[in-house]
Structure 1
Amino acid sequence: MPEAPLLIRRQRVPGWLSALCYAGGLILGLAIAAGLLMALGVPGPSLWDEFIVETFLTSDGLSQTLTAMIPLALVGLGSALAMRVGFWNIGISGQLWMGAVAATWVSLHGIGPGALRLPLMLVLSCLAGAAWVGLPLLLRLKWNVSEVITTLMLGSIAFLWVQHLLFGAWRDTTTGFANSRSFAPEERLPLLGWGHLHAGIWIVLGVTLLGVLVMATSRVGFYARAVGLNPRAARAAGLPVLGTIAGLVLASGALCGLAGAVIVTGTEYRLSQTIGGDYLFSGIVIAFLARSQLLAVLVVAFVLGGFYTTGNVLKMFYGVSEAVVLLTQGIVLLTVLSAQLFSTYRIERRGNA
């Protein structure tokens, strides 16, 4: 009888094997993406120049990549925290929108003294993001309603609410465009004197360091690992399962809301229809590729920031559409995840009875 191959989960995955599969999947994904772009008319040498040389090896390109990395890292950190406790936060973009709305509300209504307005905008954006994920969290914990549906629906509601504001009460009457008026100088994150890079980079580094310390040295990290592996066993052992899930999910929403505030106070200086972008897809990609490891999120976000920088150049000078840029990101994600199969499982052939 022919042998049927079986996938047997490895009890322990060697570090070298995981790194080899990760690197192999990444190289294969980049090669396929490059082949697709070349088939669409982008010259091969231009891909190397735009993605590697101009993006990572020049001063201007590096500053643009770091600037693009800031909100990507925040949504990636938010997605990673939620994934650690088995919560699929598909409403990243909605929480980002609500954070941006909260920050803009402070600016438009002149809440607080000028010197404290920027910190207030950042704090309220965190609260808005956490509140927006709070309802799906409550429905999940109380009635086991799928957070995939509820967070996704609230993301659409947040986007439509922003449209209502921008085409209504918050519309900039001086220009007639569907965006808010510009923020005052004291309501903007300071530039660091290197291109468009702003102080949001310090926020990202501080949040990441705090998250790593909490996860590595506190009970919260232990609880999160236990709940993520087996919530039933964690509950039977007397661990605070509901509190752990609630805390990390609310922190996830807060970080996504903070990303919205960082965009409007650091780069856009106003609320507009374009700030949400495709951060939902990017946040999930970053968390998956980083395997929910917070330090790895920074690395993946930096590389993806390079994709954003290169994608803008490809769209502007080579006529590549936004859909193709997103497709290349998806190809890289799929190849990396597929390659990880060979590190997580081993193939064994056995004869049929």
Structure 2
Amino acid sequence: MLDGALLVRRQRVPLRLSAASYLGGLVFGLALAALILVQLGVPAAALWQEFVVQTFLTSQGLGQTVTAMIPLVLVGLGTALALRVQFWNIGIEGQLWLGAMAATWVSILDLGPEPLRLPLMLALSMLAGALWIALPLALKLLWGVSEVISTLLLGSIAFFWVQHQLFGAWRDGTTGFPTSPTLDATERLPLLGWGQVHAGLWLALAAVVLAAAVIGVTRLGFYARAVGANRRAARAAGLPVLLTVAIFVLGSGALCGLAGAVIVTGTEFRLSQSIGAGYLFSGIVIAYLARSNPLAVLVVSFLLGGLYTAGGVLKVFYGISEAMVLLVQGVVLLSVLCAQLFADYRVVARRPQ
């Protein structure tokens, strides 16, 4: 007879088991989401067409998915870098807002010559994101203040700062709406000739390749793995713990700030109140599902972008409310997250003595 069972964490998760858990969770989540949508009046025959064919197998749908993927890659990669050194960046949206504001500021003041204005907007957005996360980093390293609280509060401050600017000095005088003036043509990321896909794709891919190279083959990547595994042991071994944490956390803020500039210069072409909504949830989910692996971040971001694209189709063509679309997306993502339990842990039976 059995006296119970224990969940024992695996020291190493086999690739085959991890892939099977991902696939199983995805299939279960999609099946549950399909049941919900059918109950809401979406024809069952249309689900495959909307979720797979129109999203991934047509040129227009794939272009929309890739466009949605670009900022997701940046925020997911930024979150993954911070998690590498056990720093919980819950202020993703705040750093994104600061990056978007920095890019908008350059545009409004017409800083620099026109040919260099777009690179200046992108560079300042990264600097703004890094500076916005620098304060929680300092509080964490100097006095042990929880970064969960400090980054989250700074995210709220950034949002209210954006509100102050959009309802004040940066309000578009031509429309009167709380948005910034539209960017000039020279201040926008060029399109690649495939729907709305823009040159931000190259920035996202370059960030992934650079992060993978740093983590995989450099000494800094080894330091980060050691710090993430056991910071106290890494310090006792003489590794540069503070420097490693600072580089990865500041890089996290810079990537999130760049995501804000990419949204402003690539898709929205102005600063609005809604550009940062939802990216905190997305960044954490992407980093967790990818296990902080930069190449896996790219794959998960692509799939999540497809899920968001399908959600937009459901709202437009089937009258599904925003709340129900978020519910369906949450069901799929939560199923995949829960399925990781079967990969991360194994069940050990306890027998009576």
Which residue matches 2:166?
166
What are the superposed Cα offsets for residues 275-319 of structure 1, whole Å, 9 maximum, x if unpaired? Answer: 112111111111111111101111111111111111111112222
Query: 1:107 touches 1:187 (CA, 8 Å); kept in 2?
Result: yes
Q: Distance in 1 between matches of 2:322 and 2:26?
A: 21
TM-score by length of 2: 0.97
Q: Distance in 2 between matches of 1:238 and 1:323?
A: 51
- Gaps of at least 5 residues in structure 1 are none
Quote the sequence identity (%).
68
Matches within 5 A, 1:194-343: 194-343=194-343
Q: Distance in 2 between matches of 1:207 and 1:99?
A: 16
Which residue matches 1:52?
52
Quote the offset at 1:332 in angstroms. Answer: 2.4
Q: Distance in 2 between matches of 1:199 and 1:288?
A: 27
Partner-residue secondary structure (3-state), 2:118 = helix
Matches within 5 A, 1:146-157: 146-157=146-157
Aligned residues: 353
Query: 1:289 touches 1:333 (CA, 8 Å); kept in 2?
Result: no
Q: Distance in 1 between matches of 2:15 and 2:56?
A: 27
Quote the offset at 1:325 in angstroms. Answer: 2.3
Q: Distance in 1 between matches of 2:198 and 2:12?
A: 42
Partner-residue secondary structure (3-state), 2:349 = strand
- Gaps of at least 5 residues in structure 2 are none
Q: Give the letter aligned to residue 278 of structure 1.
A: G
Q: Distance in 2 between matches of 1:180 and 1:20?
A: 47
User: 1:198 and 1:349, CA in 2 relative to 1: closer, same or farther beyond 3 A?
Assistant: same
RMSD: 1.3
Quote the offset at 1:347 in angstroms. Answer: 1.0
Quote the offset at 1:193 in angstroms. Answer: 1.1
Q: Give the letter aligned to residue 179 of structure 2.
A: N
Quote the offset at 1:260 in angstroms. Answer: 0.3
Matches within 5 A, 1:72-151: 72-151=72-151
Quote the offset at 1:326 in angstroms. Answer: 2.4
Query: 2:140 touches 2:147 (CA, 8 Å); kept in 1?
Result: yes
Quote the offset at 1:168 in angstroms. Answer: 0.4
TM-score by length of 1: 0.97
Query: 2:2 touches 2:349 (CA, 8 Å); kept in 1?
Result: no
Quote the offset at 1:2 in angstroms. Answer: 5.1
